[in-house]
Amino acid sequence: MRILVTAGPTREPIDAVRFISNRSSGRMGIAIAQEAAKAGHDVTLLLGPVLMHGSLHEKMRVYRFGSSAELKQMLEAHFSDCDVLVMTAAVADYRTEQASQGKIKRQSDAELTLRLQPTPDLVAAVASTKRPGQSVVAFALEEPLEMESRALSKMKLKGVDAVVANPLGTMEGEQITPLWLTAVGGREEPGRMSKDDFAAWLVDRLQGL
């Protein structure tokens, strides 16, 4: 299979040195891409601004993005060539209406107000362009008590084929307690495991899609 994976956070610029982002380490997406490449799949990884620990599989293609706008361009360029998109990237929900080209200077104790606008829903946008036989897997980071209901709602709203739901504590952690849901009614809870082990588990499920 040709598998496209996105991983890591986006950085939405405020000025030349500051940005809005989140705590995503990119570890989950990198692990999925690595396991898919080891399994012999044709893998492209779109990787955000994260520090790398160790080397990536030699046959994997890697492209780096910074902002959600850059990731959008890369998805538009690569999505049509894949069989499965695994969207683990943590795209910022908001960006500034107008980023300053220079560095914003502090004015003593004066307040600074930022006007924010929502970023585009990238996974919904690409899912709307799927061709027959093409699948999209989304990730949902949610409060534990609402995790399943919100993940099911997101899956339907975004038009994706499957969702991996996981609790908020997953971010930056080494382990995951996932819930696998599919649009055709599939539901599995493999239990708490390392992100590397889950990556191998998930790659097996991707072939079933």
Active site amino acids: 22
In 8-161 the beta strands, taken as DSSP E runs, fall at: 12-13, 19-20, 42-47, 61-64, 84-87, 94-96, 116-118, 135-142
For residue 53, the one-letter residue type is H
Query: What residue spans of the chain are helical by DSSP H?
Result: 27-38, 68-78, 122-127, 147-158, 195-208
CB distance 159 to 134 below 8 Å: no
Three-state DSSP at 162 gives: strand
| Conformational region of residue 26, where left means phi above 0, alpha means psi within -120 to 50, and beta covers everything else | left
Structure tokens at 152: 């099911």
